Structure 1
Amino acid sequence: MQFVLIHTGGTIGMAETPAGLAPEQGLVETALEAALGPDTTLVSHVFDPLLDSADVGPGHWNEMLDVIRSHPGASVIVTHGTDTMAFTGAALAQALAGEERRVILCGSMHPLGTGGDAEENLSLAVEAATRTESGVFLAFAGKLLEAGGLVKHHSHEVDAFRAQQQSSPSAPLHRRFAERRLAILTLSPGMPSAMIEASLSQLDGAVLRVFGSGTAMADPSLLKVLADAVRAGKRLRAVSQCEAGGLAPGAYAAGAGLWSTGIENGGAQTPEAALIHLWLN
Structure 2
Amino acid sequence: MTQIPSSNQVALIYAGGTFGSFGKPLAPLGTQDFLPILEELLTKSNDNLPKLMWLDNTLIKDSSQFDAHDFVHFYQLILTAYASGMKRFLLISGTDTLSYLGAFLAEAFAGSDITIVVTGSMRPLLDASKLQGYHVNEDSDAWSNFTAALKLAGGIEAGVQISFGGESWSAQTVQKIHSHDFMAFTGHTRAAYPASSFVKALPKARYQHWIDDQLAVLPTIQARATNAAVFALYCLPNDADTLVVQLMALVNRPPCAIILLGFGAGNVPFSEALAETLSQAFNNGHLVVAGSQCPFGGVSDSYAAGSWQYDHHVLSGGRLTIAAIYARLLWLLLRFDTPSRRRQRWQWSINQKSAAPKNR
Instruction: Give the TM-score taking structure 2 as reference length.
Output: 0.71
On the 8 A contact 1:13/1:27 being kept in 2, the answer is yes
Q: Within 5 Å, which residues of 2 pair with 1:1-281? A: 1-15=8-22, 17=23, 19-25=24-30, 26-28=33-35, 30-32=37-39, 34-35=41-42, 40-48=51-59, 50-71=60-81, 72-112=85-125, 113-115=136-138, 116-164=140-188, 165=191, 166-169=193-196, 176=221, 178-179=224-225, 180-190=228-238, 192=242, 193-202=244-253, 204-249=256-301, 251-281=302-332
Secondary structure, aligned partner of 1:9: coil
Give the distance between the partners of 2:39 and 2:151, measured in 1 at CA.
12
Note if contact 2:279-2:313 (Cα within 8 Å) is conserved in structure 1.
Answer: yes
1:170 deviation in Å?
5.0
Distance 1:78 1:39 in 2: 15
Amino acid at match of 1:215: N
Shift of 1:47: 2.7
Cα drift, residue 33 of structure 1: 6.1
Cα separation, partners in 2 of 1:33 and 1:163, compared to 1, 3 Å: farther
Bigger helix fraction: 2
Taking a change above 3 Å as real, the CA distance of residues 68 and 157 of structure 1, as seen in their structure-2 partners, is same
Runs (5+) with no aligned partner, structure 2? 1-7, 126-135, 199-212, 333-360
* Deviation, structure 1 residue 109: 0.4
CA distance in 2, matches of 1:195, 1:59: 25
Shift in CA distance, 29/252, structure 1 to aligned 2, threshold 3 Å: farther
**Count of paired positions:** 277
Q: Which amino acid aligns with 1:47?
A: T
Amino acid at match of 2:73: E
What one-letter code is carried by the residue in structure 2 that aligns with 1:190?
Answer: N
- CA deviations 1:250-272 (Å, max 9, x no partner) are x1122242121110011011122
Amino acid at match of 1:5: L
What is the alpha-carbon distance in structure 2 between the residues aligned to residue 231 and residue 22 of structure 1? 45
**Structure 1 residues 262 and 55, CA, compared in 2 at 3 Å: closer, same or farther?**
same
Contact 1:9–1:47 (8 Å) recurs in 2: no
Deviation at 1:53, TM superposition (A): 0.3
Q: CA deviation at 1:45?
A: 2.2
Q: 3-state SS of the aligned residue for 1:20?
A: coil
Matches of 1:6 and 1:150, distance apart in 2: 20
Q: Which amino acid aligns with 2:15?
A: T
Structure 2 letter corresponding to 1:262: H
Contact 1:7 1:47 in 2 (8 A): no
Tell me the C-alpha RMSD between the 2 structures.
Answer: 2.4
Does the CA-based 8 Å contact 2:288-2:315 persist in structure 1? yes
Determine which structure has more spread, i.e. the larger CA radius of gyration: 2
Alpha-carbon distance in structure 1 between the residues aligned to 2:170 and 2:87: 19
Give the Cα–Cα distance (whole angstroms) in 1 for the partners of residues 251 and 237 of structure 2. Answer: 19
| 1:149–1:270 contact (8 Å) kept in structure 2 | yes
Deviations 1:154-190 (A, max 9, x none): 0010000011443135599977463322212212221
Whichever structure has more strand as a proportion of its residues is 1
* CA gap 1:120/1:100 in 2 versus in 1, 3 angstroms: same
Cα shift at 1:3? 2.3
The CA distance in 1 between the partners of 2:87 and 2:310, in whole Å, is: 44
User: Unaligned stretches of 5+ in structure 1?
Assistant: none
Q: Supply the distance in 2 between the matched residues of 1:39 and 1:123 (Cα, whole angstroms).
A: 9
Percent identity, aligned pairs only, is 27
Q: Hey, which bits of structure 1, 4+ residues long, moved more than 6 A? A: 36-39, 171-175
